Chains A and B, each alone.
Chain A
Amino acid sequence: MKMSNTRSEPFLSLESKVGIAGIVLKEVFTKNVRPLILWNADRDTTVALHLVKATVENMELRMPPAVFVDHGDHFPETLDMVQKVSKDLNFRLITVRNEDVLDNVKDGKIAVSSLNDDNRSVLEKANIRDEDLSLSNDEVFRELLVKAPIEKAIARHRFDSVITAPTSDFPGGEGLNALIGRMNEETYSVVNPTLMFTGADLWKYTFDNSIPVHPKYREGHTSVFRKENNTPGSDKPAWEDEMIKEDASRDTAEDRERMMEKLRALGYI
């Protein structure tokens, strides 16, 4: 999980951070007309999704649509989870795929000559000049299978704000260290309501609010974005180390035990 884009606010409580996220989201729904949630079914964007749900309920608005990028390398659990959560929370799920690329992949390789003009233009803009490309190359994967279909969906539906999480794999989100930042020549803004949440904050918020957790985290995976080269970091659930480590730095042993009890009660340990 990339954590470099979060903004550390050690003196703010989680409750305050949730309050700030609420203010940011209210601003988004007041000033923008077409927000979307970029949702990967990972911990971070699922928390963002739930913060959005709370905000729209307060404002008596409809839940905005969520865009899920089907890049062709998901765990089956991810696909199950997006279907189930979108149904349970009753929002419109827009699944986007770069069909042209996925149709032309052979053994993880793509010949640029087999791609359509749109995709060739994507590669040109990204300054990727090779004739034969491999999807194992992160940049190629991100430009063609993540960024291109998202940009297409934003233009197609005229979305004017993208609500996501700073640690997610939103293209261009890297380095956007702001709660709301303008992107792409002012046509849309990128909103990071959880910018100030630490990893432990995100887990705590998840468990406190009974938010669905991707099953791969339980198996020790620290990222669920794609399958390739994704092995568990340890045999413990992903949240264990992260929560305990951070709690240890500021809480008493009693607090830690209380948290462990809660996790056991919820069935996460």
Chain B
Amino acid sequence: MNKPANVMFIVLDTLRLDTLYDNIDRYPAFSSLVDQSTLYNNVKSTASWTVPSHASMFTGMYLNEHGIDSSYENDSFFDLVKKFPSKCNPIPVEFRKRGYNTYSIVNNNMLGKGTAFAEGFDELDSVGPFVLQENHRETMREIVGKDNLEIIDAIEFGGVKLKSLLALGPSRALRLYNMQRNWKKEWKKYDYPRKKGAGESLKSISNMDLKEPFFTFFNLMEAHEPYHGAKGFAKVVRYYSENSYTGKWDGKAEKEAELEKMKESLPANLASLDNFLGGLISHLKEKGVYDNTAFVVVSDHGQCFGEDNFVGHGYLLNDYLVNVPMILKMPEGRKKVNDDYISTFDVYNVMKSIANGESADFPKRDFVFSESFGVSKPTWKKRLGDLASKHKPDVRKRIWSKEGYSLTVNGSKGEIEEFSYRGKPEKPDDHREAVSDLLTELSIFTGSENFTIPEI
């Protein structure tokens, strides 16, 4: 019987397909990995933000199946992700059942200790500035109390009023002030936002006593906002979100210039990821385990820099958000390119096949889907401010057929929002049969959620 292959499951959070694929030759570790891997050109993420997208890769299910979405009505979203529903068999648990040692190193508290994503890991480490930031927020929440959480948003957006701070009482206001000051100093040590935890992740794995066979999960936040050289990402997000509803675009050129600067800063973040990858490969070679290790390197979603008048991720399902890069290196290592339509939920099935010692090909699906159930209430308020009470986030689903058709439906409005063939926009009326087939498939795919399929 063959020795079971180790698995490195590396999620490059928020990394757009074009950001990596257009520049891959510039990065030695990525280039070298691709030379021994299958590079996938048509991978569709099941969701356009971190938690539901990771939930799909961890459970092998779409959003309407695992139920971890972010619907506007669901105030207890963060309680929901503390544990996967009983119908799910999370991938770390599956690896452990098969005798694997399981390790998790994450740069994002949403995937760390105390969440569903921790289940089944023998060792878990949360590192990097985002983890620090979330811990910092947690302390701030404790100081201001649950009735004053808006002050924290205001502090982060730079719009806190002295009056609201003083209303907390001098002792609490002073503690907040001191915390913020110390926190900024602390953050600078990380060279943030140029670096967001990849270096710390490498240190963490180097300190772990990896025992074969192992399954190791990384979430690396280097491509996530905010970006080096650009100020006020949150303000740009809010400008685009609000103005999409009001239709007023005064000062857009200035914001576009800021977004360009942000995009220009991405190579520095990619270099940091490349250093991580190179360091990880060297470490595994030193330990003598590289030749028996499979790599699944994938992004959970992309990022909008003003495309479709949107900045950030979540909510929409456009190409910039759901087309993601993916590299699969099996221990034997062979260079290949794959153009099939593939969904990130199948990452689960492929990893399970590796754990079973079976062939690890992605299944050819007739259809793949992405879903967005809006965004959580606090996030939506941050995006839209006072407009949030008037405009509920819409629910969307997108489908791709293996023939290359794509259709996006806004199920809150019962409207077709996008229809294309191999990336080129087409009029639905000119392809009624294809559209009708896609709508039928969407209708079969849709679970019990309230989602209106348009009539054509």
A residues engaging B (CB < 8 A)?
30-34, 60-62, 65, 92, 94, 156-157
Near A by CB (< 8 A), chain B positions 283-304 give none
State whether B444 touches A92 (Cβ < 8 A).
yes
Inter-chain contacts of B66 with A (CB < 8 A): 33
CA of A39 to CA of B447 in the docked complex: distance in angstroms? Answer: 20
Given A31-B87, A32-B87, A92-B443: A61 and B65 interface contact (C-beta under 8 Å)? no
State whether A61 touches B448 (Cβ < 8 A).
yes
Inter-chain contacts of B86 with A (CB < 8 A): 30-31
State whether B444 touches A30 (Cβ < 8 A).
no
CA of A31 to CA of B448 in the docked complex: distance in angstroms? Answer: 15
- CB-nearest residue of chain B to A157: B444
CA of A65 to CA of B443 in the docked complex: distance in angstroms? Answer: 9
State whether A62 touches B61 (Cβ < 8 A).
no
Near A by CB (< 8 A), chain B positions 10-49 give none
Chain B 433-445 interface 0/1 with A at a Cβ cutoff of 8 Å (1 = within): 0000000100111
State whether A33 touches B366 (Cβ < 8 A).
no
State whether A34 touches B65 (Cβ < 8 A).
yes
Task: Choose among B367, B440, B447 the residue that contacts A62 (Cβ–Cβ < 8 A).
Answer: B447
Inter-chain contacts of A157 with B (CB < 8 A): 444-445
* Chain A nearest Cβ from B86, distance in angstroms: 7
State whether B444 touches A33 (Cβ < 8 A).
no
Near A by CB (< 8 A), chain B positions 261-316 give none
Known pairs A34-B65, A157-B444; list 6 more (Cβ under 8 Å): A31-B87, A33-B87, A61-B448, A92-B444, A156-B366, A157-B445
Chain B 370-410 interface 0/1 with A at a Cβ cutoff of 8 Å (1 = within): 00000000000000000000000000000000000000000
Chain B 315-350 interface 0/1 with A at a Cβ cutoff of 8 Å (1 = within): 000000000000000000000000000000000000
State whether A62 touches B444 (Cβ < 8 A).
no
Given A92-B443, A156-B366: A30 and B87 interface contact (C-beta under 8 Å)? yes
State whether B448 touches A62 (Cβ < 8 A).
yes
Inter-chain contacts of B443 with A (CB < 8 A): 92
State whether A33 touches B65 (Cβ < 8 A).
yes
* Chain B nearest Cβ from A94, distance in angstroms: 7
Inter-chain contacts of B444 with A (CB < 8 A): 65, 92, 94, 157
Given A30-B87, A31-B87, A92-B443: A60 and B448 interface contact (C-beta under 8 Å)? yes
Inter-chain contacts of A30 with B (CB < 8 A): 86-87
CA of A61 to CA of B450 in the docked complex: distance in angstroms? Answer: 10
CA of A62 to CA of B448 in the docked complex: distance in angstroms? Answer: 5
* Chain A nearest Cβ from B399, distance in angstroms: 12
CA of A62 to CA of B366 in the docked complex: distance in angstroms? Answer: 24
- CB-nearest residue of chain B to A29: B448
CA of A94 to CA of B66 in the docked complex: distance in angstroms? Answer: 24
CA of A190 to CA of B65 in the docked complex: distance in angstroms? Answer: 19
CA of A157 to CA of B367 in the docked complex: distance in angstroms? Answer: 8
